[in-house]
A and B are shown apart, each in its own frame.
Chain A
Amino acid sequence: MFNFFLLILIYSGIYALMALGQNIITGYGGLLSLTQAGFFAIGSYATAILTTRFGWSFWATLPAALILSAFFGLLIGLPTLRLKGDYLAIATLGFGEIVRNVLNNWDSVTRGPMGIQRIPMPDLFGFTINPYKKYAFLVMVFVFVGIAYFIFQRLARSRMGRALSAVREDEIAAQSMGINITTYKVFAFILGASVAGLAGSLQAVFSLSVTPGTYTFMVSVMVLCMVVLGGMGNFKASILGAFIIQLISYFPQLTGLSSVIPPQFKQILFGLILVVMMIWRPQGLLGREETRYGKKVAKSRKGGAR
């Protein structure tokens, strides 16, 4: 039971990484991307193939997974983000399906629907991070979550974060202020993609095998749900959302009711969360994170002078 709880925590961490990426795309940039699962898959397969075929160590595959995901992010982002409208949403939705399609059909590299097994466990200074001893793995995952959180938080308060917020609020106004909207949008998208690739790498060495069936559209919707439930534009909220959604997702097993609750229960609930949150609480549980400057502005508006 306790072990099971640790497993949920580990998955929460892996998904939190993806949610952080989704938040910079959707929460800050106001762009709808529906393919964290696609980048997740690319990261997983990069690690799986490089370690089993070419004997790379896990740590060497991490940058490879990151760069590969970022590259594919650029490939979809560049044609779709130049345009107004929601082409990104549909292009990314298609991309996720294509990735799974390719993984299923490119037998010589991905071994098709069977997937790749026996991925070696990561070593660190001679200490094997064994996914069966969950503590070590949990620490590793949350070190990554911490690093990603720190970097994203810094970025969000930098020129880039402000530029993205401006683009989200009003593209035309942002453009007339000299912000290159396409550059910032593509940059946000690539960042979100690469962190999902990183999450994929971790998932590969945690489950020690990868199969195309893991990377369905449901994963993307779950990640989206985490961001929406927690609150768009708030990185802490994304991590909180990851915990809540993972708890819901494992609720039937946790309570031992998996024979009573139909397997579609959680998906229907995720769909309901999206609709209900949008109608009654679009800012999410925690709401958007205000910068110190933003708070000052809000205060001066409310209180009048100074």
Chain B
Amino acid sequence: MGIAEFFQHLMNGLTLGGIYALIALGYTMVYGILKFINFAHGDVLMVGAYIGLFLFDWLRGDSPLGLWTLVAFFLAMIVSMGFSAAIGMFIERVAYKPLRKATRLAPLLSAIGVSFILSNGAAWAFGTHSRKFNYPFDNSAIHLGGVVITPHQILILVVSLVIMIILKIFVDKTRMGKAMRATSLDQGTAMLMGISVNRVISMTFAIGSALAAVGGILIALDFKVYATMGTMMGLKAFVAAVVGGIGNISGAMFGGILLGILETFGVAVFGIPTGLKDTIAFGVLILILLLKPEGLFGKVEKEKV
């Protein structure tokens, strides 16, 4: 493998991983606070992608590729983030909040129900065929040395990098971010310190869902939009979150990128057939659970009685 080829695969892995990281953040944040896997996260991603697609097509109309299409794309993305955040908060309010004191199994089962309602509701409302999300720019490849980069890949890298930096600043520096960290450490104590835990949880769902919408839109440019697109993406993003140490925000970012790179190199270098590409993430999950179940950056939690 030449050096150019290596950088080519690295680039492809990084862009795929950037999207995984965006989605993994939603899982990890919710898990950090509520200790529960939000099975509907992947389906929120799908809804976000649909909203983005419809808005972009409507805003764009017949205008040719240019500055306006790019602006329309970002407008559509921002509005879709808002909608998805609202949907995420609504789901939490209706399907998870009443179950906060129930058995451990109850919110999980409810989440599976929500996931099923969303994906099948979308199939019913928008049809089972897949829709194409048109590129808002000319996506012809750029040659850099021996490496081929598409503008789409640059978009993914820039958007995911910007969003992750903003999120990191938000969680580390703002009051709300501090409240979130406190809630994830100890809900009871956080409440005693005057933090409105309900608001923190709502906010967490809103942020996670908005990020999922971005991930959905970015992936939709390559893979089309359909009702069950969220299942596999959600699953892989969850694996990414586990790899990085679930509950750990930086870990999720790293885990996502690592998984993207592993997948790309697994197919391109180690000759895993494309049809079995999805198995790689699963193998990674089993391996990490066997060798380092707390994830690469997770803390081992001792349980006290």
Chain A contacts to B: CB under 8 angstroms = 26, 30, 32, 34, 76, 79-80, 82-87, 89-91, 93-95, 97-98, 101-102, 104-105, 172, 217, 221, 224, 228, 232, 262, 264-265, 267-268, 270-275, 277-279, 282
Complexed CA–CA distance, A274 and B279 (Å): 29
B116 touches A274 (CB 8 A): yes
Q: Which of B112, B114, B232, B303 contacts A34 (CB 8 A)?
A: B112
B39 vs chain A, min Cβ distance (A): 8
Q: In the complex, which residue of chain B has the Cβ closest to the Cβ of A81?
A: B289
Bound complex: CA of A82 vs CA of B292, how far in Å?
12
Known contacts A34-B112, A91-B289; is A278 also within 8 Å of B106 by CB?
A: yes
| Min distance, Cβ A67 to any Cβ of chain B, angstroms | 21
B38–chain A nearest beta-carbon distance, Å = 11
A72 to B242 Cα, complex, angstroms: 22
A281 to chain B, nearest CB (A): 11
B275 A101 Cβ-Cβ under 8 A: yes
Across the interface, B110 reaches (CB within 8 A) one of A82, A83, A102, A274, namely A274
Q: Note all chain A residues with C-beta closer than 8 A to B36.
A: 86
Interface bits B98-140 vs A (CB < 8 Å: 1, else 0): 1100111111111011111110110110000000000000000
CB closest residue in chain A, given B37: A86
Smallest CB separation, A44 vs chain B (Å) = 20
CB distance from B108 to the nearest CB of A (A): 5
Contacts of B115 in A (CB 8 A): 271
Is the CB of B177 closer than 8 A to any CB of chain A? no
How many residues in B have their beta carbons less than 8 Å from beta carbons of A?
Answer: 48
Q: Are B103 and A105 in contact (CB under 8 A)?
A: no
Q: What are 9 contact pairs spanning A and B, CB under 8 A?
A: A26-B105, A79-B286, A86-B108, A87-B289, A90-B239, A94-B285, A97-B278, A104-B275, A224-B112
Q: Which of A97, A172, A264 contacts B235 (CB 8 A)?
A: A97
- Taken residue by residue from 231 to 273, chain B's Cβ proximity to chain A (1 for < 8 Å, 0 otherwise) reads as 1100100110010000000000000000000000000000001
B positions within 8 Å CB-CB of A: 35-37, 39, 94-95, 98-99, 102-110, 112-118, 120-121, 123-124, 231-232, 235, 238-239, 242, 273, 275-276, 278-279, 281-282, 285-286, 289-290, 293, 303, 305
Q: Which of B103, B109, B118, B235 has the most CB of A within 10 A?
A: B109
Cα distance, A87 to B285, chains bound together (Å): 9
Are A221 and B232 in contact, with the CB atoms below 8 A? no
Kindly state the separation between the CA atoms of A228 and B120 in the bound complex, as whole angstroms: 20
A sample of 13 more A-B contacts (CB under 8 A), given A271-B116, A275-B95, A279-B99, is A86-B36, A89-B37, A89-B39, A90-B239, A90-B242, A97-B278, A105-B273, A232-B105, A270-B113, A271-B120, A278-B102, A279-B95, A282-B102
Residue of B nearest to A80 (CB): B289
Bound: A122/B243 CA distance, A:
47
* B110/A268 in contact, CB under 8 A: no
Asked if B290 contacts A221 (CB within 8 A), the reply is no
Q: Which of A34, A91, A264 is in CB contact (< 8 Å) with B286?
A: A91
A172-B303, A268-B120, A279-B99 known; A93+B235 contact, CB < 8 A? yes
> Which B residues are in CB contact (< 8 Å) with A30?
103-105
Using Cβ atoms and an 8 Å threshold, which residues of chain A touch B109? 32, 224, 228, 274, 277-278
Residues from chain A with a CB closer than 8 A to the CB of B235 are 90, 93-94, 97
Contact at A79–B108, with CB atoms within 8 Å?
no
B238, chain A: closest CB distance, angstroms? 5
Q: Do B37 and A271 touch (CB < 8 A)?
A: no
Q: Given A102-B276, A172-B303, does the pair A271, B113 have CB atoms closer than 8 Å?
A: yes
Q: Sort A-B residue pairs by CB-CB distance and give the 5 closest, nearest first.
A: A274-B113, A271-B116, A271-B117, A105-B275, A267-B120
